[in-house]
Structure 1
Amino acid sequence: MFDFRQLRYFIAVAEELSFTRAALRLHLSQPPLSQQIQALERDLGVRLLERTKRHVELTEPGRVFLEQARQILARADEARSQVVAAAAGYSGQLRLAYTASVSFHPALPQTLLRFGQIAPNVRLKLSEMYTEPQFASLLADEIDVGFVRNEPIHSQDARNLRLSVIDREPLLLALPAGHPLASRSSLHLADVAGDAFVSQPRELAATLYDRLVTLATNAGFQPAIVQHAQQINGLLALVAAGLGLALVPASMRTVRLAGVSYVPLDDPDAYMLLAIACRTDHHSPALQQFLATVTETAVAPGL
């Protein structure tokens, strides 16, 4: 069977229509070049070139084979490029999950934008998913990487997962604009101990729900949660309607909803973790390139 070297030799002769010029182009002496072309013709069982002492001409099979040889080498070069790109993490597929609240944090859009510039041939499959289901999906090899809001609860999961903290995002209190404390520059959660709260159901958003309960307990009261919303941005509509107060990450300030004011909390531990999670045994080049992009983006000014 012919090899790539013979194809390159044949293309050079076919384009130069001269063994002498082709040999110079290939930095090769003429006899080995002639031998390789003859071997190629024997392998194919056809004459590709008509030769005289003064003239070289392509036969009809030679013209057909020239086009095929060019295509074969082009495909081989493309395959080589794709393999090199895949090994460097610039192509392939990456399954990425993120919690709903991360949609409002600059880490997600900025990382996706930068990664798209660095590795445009990596196919991203995005899924919105709460933190605990992300851990389960990572361990089941259903996703490759996730933006999560908490550390794994179970020690076995913690051993099999790798977390890199991106941010400890401050928590704010969303209050109805007409609330007496809505104009404060900051407050303690104890200041609103008698108010009603709205929250996502714990089975959906355990991290934020538990943080509200913990902060309230530390402030000396149990929060009266009177309404639930499935999505975090849905909480703001309930706040605007005067149904209660909501604990939200600071990045939710980007949601400008009439009737809602945001006030920072001075309570210790009034923050929400943002981390990137993957399996400890997952080392695909595309994943490593994405993790490097996350790190690069996280230290960029303005994040």
Structure 2
Amino acid sequence: MELRQLRYFVAIVDHGSLSRAAGVLHVAQPALTQQLRQLEADLGAQLLHRSAQGVHSTDAGKVFYEHAQAILKQVADARSAVTQSARPSGTVTLGLPHSISAALALPLLEAARAHYPDITLQLTEELTGNLAEQLKSGRVNLAVLFDDGQLTPFVTTPLAEESLCFICRTDARWFPQRAEVTLQEALAATLILPGLQHGVRPRIEAVAHGAGLAPQDVIEINSIAILKSALMADMGATILPVAPVLPEVQRGLMRALAIHSPAISRTVVLCASRTLPLTNAATAISRLAAEVAGQLCAGDAWPGATLL
């Protein structure tokens, strides 16, 4: 197996066609086809379905594509680490959970462009469970995750402690004329929450269990956009930080109630792999992310977050 075969395979999948991939790679199509056949023979599996409409990954191909992407990124990172001068440069991929990107993404992008013009910062928005796997495999250089006691595979830098609130449509039936609710009251409502392995859900379940409580009626939605639509349809309420719904709260479409007895919060941390070294550029972005998070907390620009 050769690196060029990995590059060829990724290009074919990305472009959905052998002919288009050959044109982008500046490789004759028969040579590209031969390299693909050699790769499939080496792996002992068919990676692509070929048809008149183009090519599509088999199940084995989908698995191999993820690994090929990670390997090629690590090779690019290694080359960048060797060739970088004192001025950091190159590409850094940072993964953000859906519920954090509203607070952190734009300020970090602006700071990166101002302080490190030679660094291309790529932000990817994903579910936390997916981000952890991508960080382990090297598909992202850094990821913002939540400290649930399961972060031992990573080097972690605490960024902030973020309070969670009970959030519902402004005219919803839940707790009218109230500014705060107990955790027991919040858990008794119909709640729209991410799945058990993602986002705020593990933290909610852990705090509830510690208080001898449990959610009573849960609708699982793993998308902030769809979750907000469900809130606006008055299908239920949710427990989230304020940042993802701040525009709706400011426009009076939603309201956020503090939770007490006990309060509930989550620790936001920046994570890097323990086994894959960071490039100079990734190290610079890591430091910058911590600085930006601190500035947002100090300036009350990250609602509900306090600096750690």
The answer to whether the superposition gives a TM-score over 0.5 is: yes
Alignment of 1:196-275 (within 5 A): 196-203=190-197, 205=198, 207-256=199-248, 259-268=253-262, 270-275=264-269
Gaps of 5+ in 1: 1-81
**Given the alignment, which residue of 164, 168, 182 partners 2:161?**
168
User: Pairwise CA RMSD of aligned residues?
Assistant: 2.7
Write the deviation string for residues 79-130 of structure 1: whole angstroms up to 9, x where unpaired: xxx999933353111121111111122x332122111111112122322222
SS of equivalent residue, structure 1 residue 299? helix
Write the deviation string for residues 181-211 of structure 1: whole angstroms up to 9, x where unpaired: 24322221212443221112225x2x41222
1:266–1:87 distance in 2 versus 1, CA, 3 Å: farther
Asked whether the equivalents of residues 93 and 142 of structure 2 are also in contact (C-alpha less than 8 Å), the reply is: yes
Alignment of 1:57-136 (within 5 A): 86-105=84-103, 107-136=104-133
CA–CA distance in structure 1, aligned partners of residues 81 and 206 of structure 2: 50
- Whichever residue aligns with residue 175 of structure 1, its letter is C
Tell me what 2:10 maps to.
none
Identity across the alignment (%): 16
TM-score (norm 2): 0.62
SS of equivalent residue, structure 2 residue 107? helix
Alignment of 1:6-21 (within 5 A): none
CA–CA distance in structure 1, aligned partners of residues 261 and 281 of structure 2: 40
TM-score (norm 1): 0.63
Asked whether the equivalents of residues 85 and 91 of structure 1 are also in contact (C-alpha less than 8 Å), the reply is: no
SS of equivalent residue, structure 2 residue 285? helix
1:193–1:274 distance in 2 versus 1, CA, 3 Å: closer
CA–CA distance in structure 2, aligned partners of residues 183 and 88 of structure 1: 58
1:259–1:87 distance in 2 versus 1, CA, 3 Å: same
Write the deviation string for residues 233-284 of structure 1: whole angstroms up to 9, x where unpaired: 3223222322212011121341316642111112435112211111235231
SS of equivalent residue, structure 1 residue 87? coil
- Whichever residue aligns with residue 88 of structure 1, its letter is A
CA–CA distance in structure 2, aligned partners of residues 243 and 83 of structure 1: 50
CA–CA distance in structure 1, aligned partners of residues 190 and 112 of structure 2: 42
Gaps of 5+ in 2: 1-79, 302-308
CA–CA distance in structure 1, aligned partners of residues 261 and 170 of structure 2: 22
